[in-house]
Structure 1
Amino acid sequence: MRTRFLKVSLLCVLFATGVFVTGCSDDNKYADVDGEAPVAVLKADHIQSGAGHDFTIEGTLTDADGISAIKLECADLYLNKTIDLIDIYGAPQTSYDLSYKFSLAKDEVGEQFTVKVTVIDVGGRETSQDVLITMDGDFENPVFAVAPDKTITVLMKADRNPQYTLNFTATDDRKLDYVTIEIPELSGFETRTVSAEGKASLTFKEAIVFPNESQTYTINLTAYDAVGNSVTSTCNVTVSEMPDFEKMYLADVKTDEELNSDVFGVPMVINHTGEYQYKARYYNKAAGTEIFFLPQKTSFTPICFGLDPEDSNKLTDDPETAKPIVLDTPNVYYEIDINVKQSTYTIKTYSVNEATDPINYEYGQPCFDVWENGSEYINFYIGWGGSPQDAGEHLFVQDANNPHLFYYPAAGATWSLESGEELNFIISNYHPSGWWDHVEWRCDNSTDIEKFGYFSKKNDVNPNWEGTNQKWSDGSSVQDNWMKPVITKGGNYRFEFDAHLGRGKIVPAN
């Protein structure tokens, strides 16, 4: 038997009367009827469960003489329960429906356990059965690790029918069964079922051809695992001429998988500056960085803006032929303007010294006035957390080449996040007593974070900063939105934050 502290578990016995009691009784006063041992018909002798989950032992128990008690025992689970029916009902029971729930600890490490169920009648006769509890239960729904955006545009072409390459990856923590594909508005497209062949992951990629006319189609994807858990992803595909996209993104990665492996921030949203016009600012860490522009977040198709292979001074929207824009100068900021209607772009650079951000302090230096009266100064830092004190537990490291760029964790450290974990934080200055309102950032959308806005209620702002406190670049108000992303895939991550750009990302650590 393992030794550990006993943790309080949720123990629940469901009786016909709803009463929960344990105890002993005097069986000698009850006469035998048939003198036979009790009969126990359990619903299952093998139950699949898991750490942090429940299991319920159920069955029908009978005895003509009368059942006095039921015992459930498992030393490894610290389970030693006696259900005294005489104490509960005032008399032995000739029939009893057992339903006993037990909660496994979240940190349970065992792989399987045996619970002994013993039924005792008033004559002391016993019937025992073992129930095997294994830790391989499937409680999680499948996940679309890669899926289409909620809305996608497919451009009409003069020389061919428009097409969209449907690309998705469905995964399950146990065993994936199949995925269904429905496009009800597309004539001739029959609902498809794609088998996962019992594997934990299924990747699908296939071109869907649409009529060359303006219309919106719905793509419904539903993934099922081996026990019937399911998840659905829905995408609206609009076939049209070139629209004035509400949003545009800069992608500095090469694959759809990388576009979907982040917690947030990849690809990076850029500014919509006018009709069909967009402006990107981007810090280039190393020479040779390749970028594209995308109106959808999760894939390089169906539209990808890059260099036209026949005229590098122009853009093309064709993902099959587009060449990357290559950023050759390291350790500078690039400013790129594009016009998707005219297929044009301009590009220039500026130095990190020319760039500004709202921070009015020298990082890591004793320049932060703790009590706002000049009596005590501490080193200035920023971090992420639920308060300025908590930020001290997650301090950013300033980049050696760019004072506007910050990282978490420090080099050599590990930051692990669990699948299903929900973060809840802001970015703020560190203060040992939790004072607020100095150097802080909020986000545009708590669960779908794309950009960060400066949010200093004390208006503590670098006077040289080109931005505006508590306002986005378009003049709209920055709201008090905390960052609350949900982790879809557990692993080690890195947080990168650029105070000049107002952009950040959490991506898998190398």
Structure 2
Amino acid sequence: MRTRFLKVSLLCALFATGVFVTGCSDDNGYSDVDGESPVAVLKTNHIQSGAGHDFTIEGTLTDADGISAIKLECADLYLNKTIDLIEIYGEPQTSYDLSYKFSISKDEVGEQFTVKVTVVDVGGRETSQDVLITMDGDFTDPVFALAPQDGSFVTMLLRDGAVDPYEMKLQMTDDRALKSLYLNIEGAAGYSDLVIDIDSIPSFEYNWRIELPAEKKDYPTTIAVTDYAGRTDTVKCTISVTDIIDFEKMYLADVATEAELNSDVFGVPMVINHVGEYQYKARYYNKAAGTEIFFLPQKTSFNPVCFGLDPKDSNKLTSDPKLAKPIVLDTPNVYYEIDINIQESTYNIKTYSVDEATSPIKYEYGKPCFDVWENGSEMIDFYIGWGSSPQDAGAHLFVQDSNNPHLFYYPSEGTWTLSSGEEMNFIISNYHPGGWWDHVEWRCDNSTEIEKFGYFSKKNDVNPNWEGTNMKWEDGSSVQDNWMKPVIVNGGNYRFEFDAHLGRGKIVPAN
């Protein structure tokens, strides 16, 4: 009996090590079916990831005897994971779909790693495969740094029975490598489904010269850039060949180059009010004598339409960017009010002082005049700033301009650095140490395409002399609770400028 017991023990020991492969049952009733090692079909053996990102190892695992466990190991990533299928399911699995996600530390500096994936069956047999993890994953879409605004109209004007050629300037960037640029103008001969190859570079500029027939027509247009990961950024706009039109929006440009038109986070050029058919009104604070301005119906270019002085008659406007001369503002430290009528090509200018200008703020800036608990028990210095709450605004306080009490800046000194791809999320509000809301606050017209700011005091805390209306735009429509959520395209140092009288602000590059 003793000899027989030793033989059976040796038999099962050999089974457990996978050396002896004929049929045998263990103490749990599992039997060897085919004597084969598990089969692992992984989705890929190379995964591109990056610091602060996840990777997922996926595959289909099979074994006729039953899989008992999967081990994933990488000492350099501190990965040592065992997935015990018997513990999870109460029995081994003959088939298992593996999907294991692992988060890489945002501080990881290594360039590549090997994860060993081992599948173990109930007979103790193992199958191992290595998965290479490289830190070159592409997680960011390419972006157009310069292109028409999505959904916009690009107008090519009929002048004297002809249409001037239009050169659309496009700039695009990617954190790794661009692959191609797609261009399509529906219904325009020679402009359908054009593909421009880009030679694996992170930034690319393209000047697209467009010549269209001299007939009134709208052309749906698509522009798309693709990177080597297959990610895209797409702009859809309409190129409209027409004579003078009543543009939905008009902008005041106080910069000299298209690069300056497109280097801001928001606010340049400055949207003005559309007050009637073909009529627009601009208000603008002039800091220095000699400021030169133009009016544009498109945000990103001085072409194809630019309203400025007609060189043949300075009392008239022209829309031709090749001819238009700037309107020059000669008086410093005043507000200008400029009315233009693009149908009649006329304009009218007047000025008013900063003392005549009003804003919704009724408090004296930097003075102890703000009732912190609304009961007269404690007065604190009044400040405004930007942030996620009135308490957070204390970390980003504006400084008041020395010549204009309605004008504010951030930062007060030093530099303010923003990173490419950074998503901001803020309001403009008074500072309150306890984070109380609803007093002096502004929201915007569109969270991601910010053009103007509306006063938004739920407490109706308003300067009685202000010419505006709380929680209403100039046209009487309601200011909605839209937070400012711009995405930074180009990282660098910036400055925030905010005018409480105009309800306009901008974040622009700063040295």
Q: Normalising by the residue count of structure 1, what TM-score does the alignment of the two structures yield?
A: 0.86
Tell me the number of residue pairs that the alignment of Structure 1 and Structure 2 aligns.
485
**Structure 1 stretch 437-446 or stretch 220-229: which is displaced more?**
437-446
- Measured after TM superposition, the shift of residue 218 of structure 1 is 0.8
- Measured after TM superposition, the shift of residue 271 of structure 1 is 1.7
Backbone CA RMSD of aligned residues: 2.9
Distance 1:119 1:506, change over 3 A: same
Deviations 1:302-354 (A, max 9, x none): 10111223333322111122222233333322222222122222333333233
Structure 1 contact 146–256 (Cα < 8 Å) conserved: no
Aligned partner of 1:377 in structure 2 is 379
What is the CA–CA distance in structure 2 between the aligned matches of 1:29 and 1:356, rounded to whole Å? 87
- Measured after TM superposition, the shift of residue 188 of structure 1 is 4.2
What is the CA–CA distance in structure 1 between the aligned matches of 2:476 and 2:44, rounded to whole Å? 63
Deviations 1:107-161 (A, max 9, x none): 5443322212334456656554432211111132221111113212221111523
Aligned partner of 1:22 in structure 2 is none
What is the CA–CA distance in structure 1 between the aligned matches of 2:360 and 2:434, rounded to whole Å? 23
Distance 1:384 1:92, change over 3 A: closer
Aligned partner of 1:200 in structure 2 is 202
- Measured after TM superposition, the shift of residue 417 of structure 1 is 4.5
Structure 1 contact 388–432 (Cα < 8 Å) conserved: yes
Distance 1:399 1:121, change over 3 A: same
Structure 1 contact 278–337 (Cα < 8 Å) conserved: yes
- Measured after TM superposition, the shift of residue 201 of structure 1 is 1.9
**Structure 1 stretch 361-370 or stretch 286-295: which is displaced more?**
286-295
Structure 2 contact 17–125 (Cα < 8 Å) conserved: no
What are the within-5 Å matches in structure 2 for residues 309-324 of structure 1? 309-324=311-326
- Measured after TM superposition, the shift of residue 56 of structure 1 is 2.4
Deviations 1:373-405 (A, max 9, x none): 332211000112233222222211112222111
Q: Which runs of 5+ in 2 are unaligned?
A: 1-12, 23-33
Aligned partner of 2:292 in structure 1 is 290
Partner-residue secondary structure (3-state), 2:176: coil
Aligned partner of 2:455 in structure 1 is 454
Alignment of 1:46 with 2:46, yes or no, is yes
Deviations 1:210-261 (A, max 9, x none): 2212111111112111122222211112221211222210011233333233
- Measured after TM superposition, the shift of residue 87 of structure 1 is 4.3
Q: Normalising by the residue count of structure 2, what TM-score does the alignment of the two structures yield?
A: 0.86
Distance 1:440 1:357, change over 3 A: same
What is the CA–CA distance in structure 2 between the aligned matches of 1:326 and 1:472, rounded to whole Å? 29
Partner-residue secondary structure (3-state), 1:169: strand
- Measured after TM superposition, the shift of residue 501 of structure 1 is 1.0
Aligned partner of 2:176 in structure 1 is 174
Distance 1:350 1:130, change over 3 A: same
Q: Which runs of 5+ in 1 are unaligned?
A: 1-24
Alignment of 1:475 with 2:476, yes or no, is yes
Identity of aligned residues (%): 72
**Structure 1 stretch 255-264 or stretch 287-296: which is displaced more?**
255-264
What is the CA–CA distance in structure 2 between the aligned matches of 1:474 and 1:35, rounded to whole Å? 81
Structure 1 contact 27–122 (Cα < 8 Å) conserved: no
Deviations 1:420-456 (A, max 9, x none): 5141x32221122333332222222333221122233
- The structure number with the bigger radius of gyration is 2
- Measured after TM superposition, the shift of residue 66 of structure 1 is 6.6
What are the within-5 Å matches in structure 2 for residues 57-456 of structure 1? 57-59=57-59, 68-87=68-87, 98-120=98-120, 128-149=128-149, 150-419=152-421, 421-423=423-425, 425-456=426-457
Structure 2 contact 253–294 (Cα < 8 Å) conserved: yes
- Measured after TM superposition, the shift of residue 504 of structure 1 is 0.7
Partner-residue secondary structure (3-state), 1:156: strand
Partner-residue secondary structure (3-state), 1:392: helix
Distance 1:364 1:124, change over 3 A: same
Structure 1 contact 453–478 (Cα < 8 Å) conserved: yes
Structure 1 contact 279–337 (Cα < 8 Å) conserved: yes
Aligned partner of 1:21 in structure 2 is none
**Structure 1 stretch 212-221 or stretch 202-211: which is displaced more?**
202-211
Letter aligned with residue 152 of structure 1 = V
Aligned partner of 1:32 in structure 2 is 21
What is the CA–CA distance in structure 1 between the aligned matches of 2:160 and 2:243, rounded to whole Å? 10
Deviations 1:280-311 (A, max 9, x none): 11112233322110011122111011122333
What is the CA–CA distance in structure 2 between the aligned matches of 1:26 and 1:90, rounded to whole Å? 25
Deviations 1:155-203 (A, max 9, x none): 1111523433222222222111111111112234332111111111221
Letter aligned with residue 270 of structure 2 = M
Structure 2 contact 415–493 (Cα < 8 Å) conserved: no
What is the CA–CA distance in structure 2 between the aligned matches of 1:203 and 1:478, rounded to whole Å? 38
Aligned partner of 2:7 in structure 1 is none
